Amino acid sequence: MKTVFLGVLATAGLAAGVAGAATLDDVKARGSLNCGVSTGLVGFAAPDADGVWEGFDVGVCRAVATAVLGDPDAVTFVPTTGQTRFTALASGEIDMLARNTTWTFSRDVDLKFEFVGVNYYDGQGFMAPRELGVSSAKELDGATVCIQTGTTTELNLADFFRVNSISYEPVPIETNAEALQQLLAGACDVYTTDASGLAASRATFENASDWVILPEIISKEPLGPLVRHGDNEWADVVRWSLNTLIAAEELGVTSENVAELAAAPTNNPEINRMLGTEGELGAMLGLEASWAADIIAAVGNYSELFESNIGESTPIGLARGLNAQWTDGGLLYTPPFR
Amino acid sequence: MSDTNAQSVSFVRDKMLPESAPPTLERGVVKWIRENLFSSILNSVLTLGSIYVIYWIVAHLYPWLANSVWYASSLNECREIRDATVGPGVPSACFAVITDRWEQLLFGFYPNDAYWRPVMALVAFLAAIAPVLFVSLPRKLLWFSAASPFVMFSLLWGGSIWGPITLAVGFGVGYAAFVLLGRVAGALVSVLGSIIAPVLFWMFLAGPIAGALTAVAPIGLPFVESRSFGGFTLSVIIGVSGIVLSMPLGILLALGRQSDLFIINKVSVAFIEVIRGVPLIVWLFTAQLILGYFLPPGTTFDLTLRVIIMVTLFSSAYIAEVVRGGLAALPKGQYEGADSLGLDYWQSMRLIILPQALKISIPGIVNTFIGLFKDTTLVVFIGLFDPIGLSNAIRASTDWNGIYWELFVFIGLLFFIFCYSMGRYSLFLERKLQRENR
């Protein structure tokens, strides 16, 4: 039985299996984008009761699918864990990875990936019960710290405590949910993970005001989508799909007014170039002229995506902070559409 | 009676007293309690201690369960309902998450309107396994058992029915080759032919034939890709495929390890020791990660299938060792008796050795199967949505973020039902075979 299946599938695989480096052509031929996402991270990627994926990272996948295929639902979401994500991308199982992955030197250079931008600027923080009476992470000498194993947060934590010459006792845990149980049960004094995750977790506590998120952010965590090295055309498509989201907010294009703005050239030439009523930016990428307008119509601009998934109107309630436009004192800054 | 004491004894009873009830301390509940719970100081202390522990557990669990909320759309709503009914701060389970997501926990992302397909596949499996498990059923039903893997495949994955049918025809080709070559050539040639012929058939003929038949008569259910499989359906598919496929493979490996043929013996030993010497999670990572590099880029060799193969190989190594234990436990006389009857190797194994060896191995085999079924939850680490993986995904929705125990209670209950049934069946089988043996 086993050998039968192996034989049948191996032959089927060999027959079907000549694939080139041109990911864009592959995706068009396949009619669906294979997008690697998290197996579940509040606000960033999660399936709803009907199995439809939702979230901030999911929005990036949908934007790219809309740009290439004109359909935000033409995505096959491939759930990946922290251990399997890079192999899935390197082996070609997925076309792009949008899984709250921190852009680091070694991932970019050594693992041979191409980070195309940053869709969320995060940083590692601490959450402690108010009754512990600490107001700064530097007062945490001797504290027991709950920490997820196998992530960069573990290394950041060690660095932080070493730099400040204070001691701590790590309590290794596997998942966020487990960490919260430990924290609620008092098994650890303080929990450390990305600040967005802390805020999302704090919002689920019955008495959220009994918990404080300490002011120190001890690491830089620029999270962004990434693709494989060596296919620059595809990297451009993903990069400019992300830039479209950000630029649309800056230029005031929303899912509501995009149809109107894309119908005829406006007074703003940059909007015209982006929405395809002027110039041929879409053709340069190998896409339809209306690619950017389609993205905004389907998933909205950066601000809409942010507010509907993780913004202050949601239970997670994240403020824009670093993720505001550069004109508002944040770090979002796209190169011009020219 | 003599007259010696007639003067000194004023009264002598000359009939029996009616039996009186034993003293309260020596009968009924009181006696049982004294004998079983408080027979000595040590036992009394242990009893009181145990009662306290039980009380402590019940006192903590009962309010949580009794105040549970079953209908709400989010954890916050659960808490609001609880505050309104029993008051704030009272422990209360929020089983609304189960009411909201039970279909997902059972079927994963399988299309909503096709939930009947996994259910029917399970029914088909139970119907197919019944004649194997209970010998009192008519033997004709075994034909359905043989066809059931293809029926279940068609139900679960759908697509054109001609694919599974040509796959099944391949087995018929193998059997035909075995019979025909057996007539003209020796046993070895017919065995080799029965392996090579169907492989050639599947490699070169099955695809075009199935394609042509599909083009002529496109019959079949809508195709559902493996990625949609999840929840308990996925666990059962992986577990049941692993169990069913590893049993014959394990028996062959056990026989191979006992064999006098040098290569078969060494290959079996090496296979068993290598597979058994490495943790299952490593094999799963191999299936997920390493195979991806060896296959040509762009080829997607179905992940669920890779996992089923790995789980089958892993469990077959364990089954082989359990069966080998059964084979070793048989007295040498049984082997010699079979030989003296003039039976060839396969006949002696089939008629004399294996029925006895397998009977001895039943508890070990079922134990391995129960372990295998629970081990399927390890697939969460390679990104498949088994019930544990789904519990993480459900917690990642903003509605249910913060839910913890309720999901585990539900998942634990489902697994318990399955594993307990398997355990009971094993006991039933042991008792039945014992009686026949007497």
Q: Where are the domains of chain A?
A: 23-121+223-328, 124-219
Integer Cα distance of B317 and A281 in angstroms? 59
Q: Is B392 on the interface with A (CB under 8 A)?
A: yes
CB A49 within 8 A of CB B404: no
Task: Determine, for residues A48 and B397 on separate chains, whether the beta-carbon distance falls below 8 Å.
Answer: yes
> Distance from B338 to chain A by nearest Cα, in Å?
30
Strand partners, B47: none
Integer Cα distance of B249 and B243 in angstroms? 10
CB A190 within 8 A of CB A203: no
pTM, two decimal places? 0.83
Copy the structure tokens of residue A300.
Answer: 């909205």
Q: Is B227 on the interface with A (CB under 8 A)?
A: yes
| Side chain identity at residue A278, one-letter code | E
> Distance from A104 to chain B by nearest Cα, in Å?
22
Q: What is the DSSP letter of A335?
A: P
Number of H helices and E strands in chain B, helices first, is 19, 2
Residue A90 with chain B: CB contacts under 8 Å = 293
Q: Is A232 on the interface with B (CB under 8 A)?
A: no
Model confidence pLDDT, tens digit, residues A94-111: 999 999 899 999 999 999
Q: Is A78 on the interface with B (CB under 8 A)?
A: yes
> What are φ and ψ of residue B274, in 5° steps?
-70, -45
Task: Determine, for residues A49 and B100 on separate chains, whether the beta-carbon distance falls below 8 Å.
Answer: yes
Nearest to B130 by CA among B148, B145, B149, B152: B145
Pick the CATH number of A124-219 from 3.40.190.10, 3.40.640.10, 3.40.50.1100, 3.30.450.20: 3.40.190.10
Copy the structure tokens of residue B122.
Answer: 């399970």
A70: left (phi over 0), alpha (psi -120 to 50) or beta: left
Integer Cα distance of A201 and A197 in angstroms? 6
Pick among A206, A210, A313 to test the B interface (most B CBs inside 10 A) = A206
**Secondary structure in 3-state letters for chain B:** CCCCCCCCCCCCCCCCCCCCCCCHHHCHHHHHHHHHCCCCHHHHHHHHHHHHHHHHHHHHHHHHHHCCECCCCCHHHHHHHHHHHCCCCCCCCECHHHHHHHHHHHHCCCCHHHCHHHHHHHHHHHHHHHHHHCCCCCHHHHHHHHHHHHHHHHHHHCEECHHHHHHHHHHHHHHHHHHHHHHHCCHHHHHHHHHHHHHHHHHHHHHHHHHHHHHHCCCEECCCCHHHCCHHHHHHHHHHHHHHHHHHHHHHHHHHHHCCCHHHHHHHHHHHHHHHCCCHHHHHHHHHHHHHHHCCCCCCCCHHHHHHHHHHHHHHHHHHHHHHHHHHHCCHHHHHHHHHCCCCHHHHHHHHHHHHHHHHHHHHHHHHHHHHHHHHHHHHHHCCCCHHHHHHHHHCCCCCCCCCHHHHHHHHHHHHHHHHHHHHHHHHHHHHHHHHHC
Nearest to A34 by CA among A89, A106, A105: A89
Copy the structure tokens of residue B145.
Answer: 């058992």
Copy the structure tokens of residue A283.
Answer: 């053709």
Tell me, what's the pLDDT at A16? Answer: 37
Percent of all residues in chain A with a pLDDT value above 70, rounded to a whole number? 93
Integer Cα distance of B68 and A291 in angstroms? 50
Residue B305 with chain A: CB contacts under 8 Å = 5, 9
Model confidence pLDDT, tens digit, residues A153-175: 888 999 999 999 999 999 998 88
* Stretch A7-32: mean pLDDT: 63
B275: left (phi over 0), alpha (psi -120 to 50) or beta: alpha
- H/E segment holding residue B220: strand B220-221
Q: What is the DSSP letter of A214?
A: -
Minimum Cα–Cα distance from B79: chain A residue: A206
Partner-chain residue, chosen from B101, B298, B383, that has the shortest CB–CB distance to A92: B298
Highest mean pLDDT among A5-19, A49-63, B355-369: A49-63
Tell me, what's the pLDDT at A20? Answer: 47
Integer Cα distance of A150 and B435 in angstroms? 55
pLDDT band at A11 (very low <50, low <70, confident <90, very high): very low
Tell me, what's the pLDDT at A8? Answer: 40
Q: How many other C-beta atoms lie within 10 A of the C-beta of residue B340?
A: 9
Q: What is the DSSP letter of A150?
A: T
Pick among B75, B392, B408 to test the A interface (most A CBs inside 10 A) = B392
Tell me, what's the pLDDT at A222? Answer: 93
pLDDT band at A18 (very low <50, low <70, confident <90, very high): very low
Q: What is the DSSP letter of A171?
A: E
Q: Who's near A16: CB < 8 A, 6+ residues apart? A: B298, B299
**Parallel/antiparallel/unpaired status of strands A33-38 and A75-80:** parallel
Task: Determine, for residues B396 and A38 on separate chains, whether the beta-carbon distance falls below 8 Å.
Answer: yes
In chain B, what are the domain boundaries?
23-66, 113-158, 160-221
Q: Is A26 on the interface with B (CB under 8 A)?
A: yes
Task: Determine, for residues A88 and B199 on separate chains, whether the beta-carbon distance falls below 8 Å.
Answer: no
Pick among A6, A9, A33, A85 to test the B interface (most B CBs inside 10 A) = A9
Q: Which residue has the tokens 């075994």?
A: B142
Q: Per-residue b/e over B367-388, b at no fewer than 16 CB within 10 Å?
A: bbbbebbebbbbbbbbbbbbbb
CB A282 within 8 A of CB A291: yes
Tell me, what's the pLDDT at B3? Answer: 59
Pick among B398, B405, B406 to test the A interface (most A CBs inside 10 A) = B398
Tell me, what's the pLDDT at A87? Answer: 87
Tell me, what's the pLDDT at B345? Answer: 87
Tell me, what's the pLDDT at A306? Answer: 95
**Parallel/antiparallel/unpaired status of strands A46-47 and A53-54:** antiparallel
Residue B289 with chain A: CB contacts under 8 Å = 84, 87, 91
Question: pLDDT at residue A22 above 50?
Answer: yes
Q: Is A93 on the interface with B (CB under 8 A)?
A: yes
Minimum Cα–Cα distance from B101: chain A residue: A49
Integer Cα distance of A42 and A309 in angstroms? 9
* Stretch A290-310: mean pLDDT: 94
Say how many CB pairs under 8 Å bridge A and B: 151
Integer Cα distance of B198 and B166 in angstroms? 11
Please report the residues numbered 146 through 185 in chain A whose beta carbons come closer than 8 angstroms to any beta carbon of chain B. 175-177, 180-181
Nearest to A35 by CA among A15, A17, A60, A11: A60
> Distance from A221 to chain B by nearest Cα, in Å?
20
CB A30 within 8 A of CB A23: no
- pLDDT per residue, tens digit, chain B (438 aa), is 555 665 666 778 888 888 888 888 788 888 888 888 888 999 999 999 999 999 999 999 999 999 899 999 999 899 999 999 888 888 889 999 999 999 999 999 998 888 999 999 999 998 888 887 777 778 788 888 888 888 888 899 888 888 888 888 888 888 888 888 877 777 777 778 888 888 888 878 877 888 888 888 777 888 888 888 899 999 999 999 998 889 999 999 999 998 888 999 999 999 999 999 999 999 998 888 777 677 665 566 778 888 998 999 999 999 999 999 999 999 999 999 999 999 988 889 989 899 889 888 888 988 999 999 999 999 988 888 899 999 989 998 888 988 889 999 999 999 999 899 988 988 888 887 775 554
Pick among B299, B308, B312 to test the A interface (most A CBs inside 10 A) = B299
Model confidence pLDDT, tens digit, residues A103-147: 999 999 999 999 999 999 999 999 999 999 998 988 999 999 999
Q: Is B54 on the interface with A (CB under 8 A)?
A: no
Integer Cα distance of B370 and B2 in angstroms? 78
**Parallel/antiparallel/unpaired status of strands A143-148 and A124-129:** unpaired
**Parallel/antiparallel/unpaired status of strands A143-148 and A168-173:** parallel
Q: Who's near A169: CB < 8 A, 6+ residues apart? A: A142, A143, A144, A145
Partner-chain residue, chosen from B100, B302, B383, that has the shortest CB–CB distance to A80: B383
What torsion do the CA atoms of A229, A235, A239, A240 make, to the nearest 10 degrees?
160
Q: What is the DSSP letter of B378?
A: G
Q: Is B298 on the interface with A (CB under 8 A)?
A: yes
Model confidence pLDDT, tens digit, residues A187-231: 999 999 999 889 888 888 888 889 999 988 999 999 999 999 999
> Distance from A129 to chain B by nearest Cα, in Å?
17
CATH architecture of structural domain A23-121+223-328: 3-Layer(aba) Sandwich (3.40)
Residue A175 with chain B: CB contacts under 8 Å = 392
Task: Determine, for residues A5 and B305 on separate chains, whether the beta-carbon distance falls below 8 Å.
Answer: yes
Task: Determine, for residues A42 and B203 on separate chains, whether the beta-carbon distance falls below 8 Å.
Answer: no
> Distance from A51 to chain B by nearest Cα, in Å?
5
Tell me, what's the pLDDT at B225? Answer: 84
The gap between the terminal CA atoms of chain B, to the nearest Å, is: 58
Angle at B413 between CA B409 and CA B417, to 5 degrees: 175
Tell me, what's the pLDDT at A206? Answer: 84
Half-sphere exposure of B342 (CA within 13 A, CB side): 0
Domains A23-121+223-328 and A124-219 share a fold: yes
Q: How many other C-beta atoms lie within 10 A of the C-beta of residue B327?
A: 22
Percent of all residues in chain A with a pLDDT value above 90, rounded to a whole number? 64
Integer Cα distance of B288 and B268 in angstroms? 25
Model confidence pLDDT, tens digit, residues A250-259: 999 999 999 9
